[in-house]
Amino acid sequence: MTRESIKAAIIEIINEIVPDEDLSDLDHQKPLRDQIDLDSMDFLDIVMELRKKYRIEVPEEDYDELSTMNSTIDYLLPKMESL
């Protein structure tokens, strides 16, 4: 998967979890939780959906890597580029 397709996959997952939010103007440099109503239970949903859809494990010590869109893509790229 490319950076663009990983981004699309993340957007799709977040959209399922917080369907009331408008994700079209996200600043990829800023923390997601500063821009949309995304709490810790939602964050666990993102981790679960990555597991279910892509068989990717995000251990708890890596959760901070999923802070911004860019940092999330950076973190997931090595795990997803072969998919």
Partner 1 sequence: MIDKIRIVITGVGLTAPNGDDLVSYRKALLDGKSGVSSHEVRYMPPVPAGLCDFDQFRHQSKKAGRRGTRAGAMSIYSANEAVVDAGLAIGNLIRDRTGVFIGITEHGNVETENEIYNLSQYDFDVKYWSHHHNPRTVANNPAGEVTLNMNITGPHLCLGAACAAGNIGLIYGAQMLKLGEVDLALAGGVSESARTFGIYASFQAQNALARHKDPTKASRPFDRERNGIVVAEGGCIFAMERLEDAKARGAKIYGELVGYAYNSDAADFVLPNATRQSECMRMALLRAKMLPEQIDILNTHGTGTMQGDEHECEAIRRVFGTMTNTNVNNTKSFIGHAMGAAGALEIAGNLPSFQDKTVHPTINLDNIDPECNLPGFVIKKPRKLDRVESIMSNSFGMLGINSVVIIKRFEQ
Q: Rounded to a whole number, what is the largest CA-CA distance in the chain? A: 32
- Torsion, Cα of 28, 34, 36, 37 (10° steps): 150
Stretch in the footprint of partner 1 (CB under 8 A) among 1-9, 18-26, 65-73, 74-82: 18-26
**Collapsed DSSP state (helix, strand, coil) of residue 44:** helix
Q: Is 44 in the site for partner 1 (CB under 8 A)?
A: yes
Among 4, 20, 25, 61, binds partner 1 (CB under 8 A): 20
Chain contacts with partner 1 (rule: CB under 8 A):
16-21, 37, 41-42, 44-45, 48, 51-52
